[in-house]
Amino acid sequence: MGVDAIAALIFGRLFDKIGLAIMILAALLSAFFAPLVFLGGFYLAFLGMIIWGVSMGAQESIMRSSIAIMSSVERRGSAYGAFNTIYGVSWFLGSVLMGVLYGFSITYLVIFSVLIQLLSIPVFITMLKIKD
């Protein structure tokens, strides 16, 4: 939580200066979480937990801030509602799948986690193009 809080401040500042493009860096960084936590020893797992905190801080500050930029004032409440619904349902479904994968193969869990993080990058790039 401490890393999350510090990362939220840093990524929030970077978002103010750079914009949504900073989420690409956050996604790249987040992709390293699972291999370190699940396949590394104690120290690598500890580093992976720090990366997880950075990732959460980035998501909590940047993703919600981007909703304000991409939506009109009149539709902002609906935009936040839709975003949080999709985010929550996706988080739940991803957690269920990761739980199943964990029971089947930790390697598959790590592969899924890395791939889903990396697949978010084209989405962010598309969002950058739409915004411009």
Report the Cα 132 to chain-centroid distance in Å: 22
pLDDT interval class at 86 (50, 70, 90): very high
∠ CA 58-87-39, nearest 5°, is 60
Q: pLDDT averaged over the chain?
A: 90
For range 5-22, the mean pLDDT: 91
Phi then psi for residue 19, to 5 deg, are 100, -160
Does residue 88 have a pLDDT over 90? Answer: yes
Does residue 128 have a pLDDT over 90? Answer: no
The total number of residues shown for the chain amounts to 132
pLDDT tens per residue across span 21-68: 898 999 999 999 999 999 989 999 999 999 999 999 998 888 888 888
Phi-psi region of 19 (alpha: psi -120 to 50; beta: other; left: phi over 0): left
Instruction: Locate the domains of the chain by residue range.
Output: 2-131
Proportion of the chain above pLDDT 70, given as a percent = 98
H helices of the chain, in order, are 2-18, 22-30, 33-39, 42-58, 64-70, 76-104, 106-131
Q: Note whether 67 and 79 are within 8 A (CB).
A: yes
Nearest Cα neighbor of 120 from 29, 16, 11, 7 is 29
For range 97-108, the mean pLDDT: 95
For range 78-101, the mean pLDDT: 93
Look up tokens 């103010």; give the residue. Answer: 16
Q: Please give the Cα distance from 36 to 52 (Å, whole number).
A: 10
